[in-house]
A and B are shown apart, each in its own frame.
Chain A
Amino acid sequence: MKRMKGLYIAFIVLGLCFAAASLIFWEAIPYSLGTMLMCSGSGMVAIGLTQLLMLRLNTKDPAQVRRKEIEVNDERNVAIRRRAKALSGDALQWVVMVAAWVSLACNAPLWVTLGMTAVFVLKSVLEVYLAARYQREM
């Protein structure tokens, strides 16, 4: 618990440093770098603060933590999450393919179409690889 608290505090401090560096060196550094520092810094502060708050709430109510743990590890919930992820992945793959066709119809640059097709192929290859791996494991 203490280790996590330290980690989140370090996250906040680092985020503040990024944001401060962006403000101090705004004129001296490229615009894109300044924006990147500010965005990542403020994001890190927000994440760190949220996690610290969650940690504080969890220490106040251990029963609630246990309930959440059960909810997350519940076998039906795990199965539901896996099925939803698989189905949404399949749907997204076909959406990417349709978008590739649309990009062709819209005379979009070739790299856009090729990029989308590559994503489609990569997903298919990954699916076959994982299926083969699980065949060996199970």
Chain B
Amino acid sequence: MKNRLEELRKARGLRQEELAEALEVSRQTIGSLENGRYNPSILLAFKLSRYFGVAIEEIFIYEEELS
């Protein structure tokens, strides 16, 4: 799943470490989220949404798979 995490983080002038500390996750998790290698749990998605003050849909872009 694509996301705008890196864009939002950089817009706030945050380092991955700082965001990780604020959300109580590891820096590697933030890196994996930004690279799209890892999809967060719904809890972490809500934490991110609250932290940046935007809706979950504005962070994570869900694209339906075309069969």
Residues of A within 8 A of B (CB): 70-71, 73-77
Specify which chain B residues have a CB less than 8 angstroms from the CB of A75 in the assembled complex: 25, 29, 40-41, 43-44
Interchain CB contact (< 8 A) of A76 among B21, B24, B38, B43: B38
Interface size class of B (residues with CB under 8 A): 10 to 19
Bound complex: CA A76 to CA B38 (Å): 8
Please, what's the 1-or-0 string for B17-34, where 1 marks a CB less than 8 Å from any CB in chain A? 000110011101100100
Decide: A70 and B24 in contact? CB cutoff 8 A.
Answer: yes
Contacts of B41 on A, CB cut-off 8 Å?
75
Closest A residue to B32 by beta carbon equals: A76
Interface residues of B in 1-56 (CB under 8 A from A): 20-21, 24-26, 28-29, 32, 38, 40-41, 43-44
User: Complex Cα distance A77/B32, Å?
Assistant: 11
- 17 sample A-B contacts, Cβ–Cβ < 8 Å, listed by A number: A70-B20, A70-B21, A70-B25, A71-B26, A74-B25, A74-B28, A75-B25, A75-B29, A75-B41, A75-B43, A75-B44, A76-B26, A76-B28, A76-B29, A76-B38, A77-B26, A77-B28
